[in-house]
Amino acid sequence: MPPVPELVARDEFTYEIPRDTARGMRVAGILYSTPELLSGVRDDPSLEQLANVATLPGIVGAAYAMPDIHFGYGFPVGGVAAFDLDDGVVSPGGIGYDINCGVRLLTSRLGVEQVRARLSPLLDQLFRAVPSGVGSKGGHPVSASEIDEVLAGGAHWAVERGLGVADDLRCQEEGGRMATAAPGEVGESARKRGLRQLGTLGSGNHFLELQAVDEVYEPGLARALGLTPGSVAVMLHTGSRGLGHQVATDFIQRMDERLHREGTVLVDRQLSCAPIGSDDGAAYLGAMAAAANFAWANRQAITHGVRTAFESVFSTPWRDLGLEVAYDISHNMAKVESHATPAGERRLLVHRKGATRAFPAGRPEVPEPYRPFGQPVLIPGDMGTASYVLSGLPSALGRSFGSSCHGAGRRMSRHAAVRSFRFDQVTRELGERGILVRSASREGVTEEAPGAYKSVDQVVRAAEGAGLTRRVARLRPLGVVKG
């Protein structure tokens, strides 16, 4: 394995892999972190991956990594890179296999004690209403004739079929649908995988969590979001399931074959890519947008399941319980955006893999209710500590193309976590903190044990210190449904 690139500290929260560190680097690599977090990545191949990203054609500015960086496919998880539309590339490894994996936050009028009194039956009902686990099925199956409508319509399709209301669409990134979707570019295998997975969580780090609003730092935005101290929120984390994974698989193979025909050799074959304007590049972006729409439809269908479960347990309509969509954010996407560069305002294709938009107040992409404050940024922690709501800052535009971290970030692989933690130990320790767990498998808990993750407090401190985001609220877990 090549030596891990050396980092040069530029300020308290900014570390650089200089452009001349590795052969072929066109720009520098920039990591936002803290000394405490750095101890977990200095010998990690994710830094080599960051340097490799900096070699890709048409890259603009720098290759960026967020404080939750860890090893991924091609790009590190937590990687951000922007490419010129004329001579740049699109790389599926820079988006990830779980296209439009994202986080949705629902608020409620329920207080912590009201939920604690019915926490166990509520988790049981949520576990039944929202299927989870490897290959989970049975949520809201769609027919082969309907799948194109899902891929084109996203969350709008789900709302039109009674799985939500029009107000749910106001506060989703892209309004819950990418208009650039090209369902015809999604292959048959991907379509088949999606037919029975709509409305399901899946496995891995996906979850459905009941949370207490523990502390508010930015009252204006917290109030706009519906977050009040002592109230209960619901956070869900999932994406495009097997459909998105298959889209990535299909196009990585297609781009590999293209590069082989051309005789192009990359520093890392996992960075397989195609020019943005090529037939392969355009086809991938259309398929990616379609898979993203499937993910929004999936989270919308899960939202319906959550509301149904609450109605059953509390014998009250969900509207009276105040189960409103506060925000829905994506963290495995590539989007064309306008950004200021030394050469002036430019349209760029921004890859965010395990990273989210963090746009400031006033940007038109921020939903109107939050535009005076900046885009909400949802940061799940591990199931034993806390999650955060942040908001984007103006300085993020110049420092990361308006991007921030997407979660606590793994410090231990899933295999290592299974070797290190026992199911009984994890559930007992969580229970001692008043946190109940429902899981489709024992591995679903041990793989995601709190000890397998970085400190979310440190990650948020680094993002805030780097000028990417500011804290809005902290949420503490009460109960969690795991895959």
Q: Which of 206, 237, 406, 415 is catalytic?
A: 406
95 vs 53: CA distance, rounded Å: 12
pLDDT in tens, 154-179: 999 999 999 999 999 999 999 999 99
Q: 239-268 b/e with 16+ CB inside 10 Å = b?
A: bbbbbbbbbbbbbbebbeebbeeeeeebbb
**Pick from 155, 188, 190, 179: nearest CA to 169:** 155
**Pick from 297, 302, 295, 326: nearest CA to 158:** 297
Return the pLDDT at 440: 86
Q: Using the structure block, give the residue that is written with the tokens 């669409």.
A: 169
24 vs 3: CA distance, rounded Å: 16
296 vs 304: CA distance, rounded Å: 13
Return the pLDDT at 1: 47
Return the pLDDT at 3: 64
The answer, yes or no, to whether residue 348 has pLDDT greater than 70, is yes
**Pick from 322, 434, 456, 478: nearest CA to 389:** 456
pLDDT in tens, 263-283: 999 999 999 999 999 999 999
C-alpha dihedral, 426 to 120 to 305 to 173, nearest 10°: -50
Higher pLDDT, 4 or 166: 166
Dump the DSSP string for 77-128.
EEEEEEEETTT-EE-GGGT-SSTT-EEEEEE-S-BHHHHHTTHHHHHHHHHH
The answer, yes or no, to whether residue 226 has pLDDT greater than 50, is yes
The answer, yes or no, to whether residue 33 has pLDDT greater than 80, is yes
Query: How sure is the predictor about 4, in pLDDT bands with cuts at 50, 70 and 90?
Result: low
pLDDT in tens, 375-394: 999 999 988 899 999 999 99
Mean pLDDT across the stretch 104-133?
Answer: 96
Which of the residue ranges 4-8, 20-24, 395-399 has the most confident prediction, judged by mean pLDDT? Answer: 395-399
List, in order, residues 6 or more apart from 52 with CB less than 8 Å away: 22, 267, 268, 271
Mean pLDDT across the stretch 142-151?
Answer: 97
412 vs 419: CA distance, rounded Å: 11
Return the pLDDT at 2: 57
- Our answer to whether residue 339 is catalytic in this structure is no
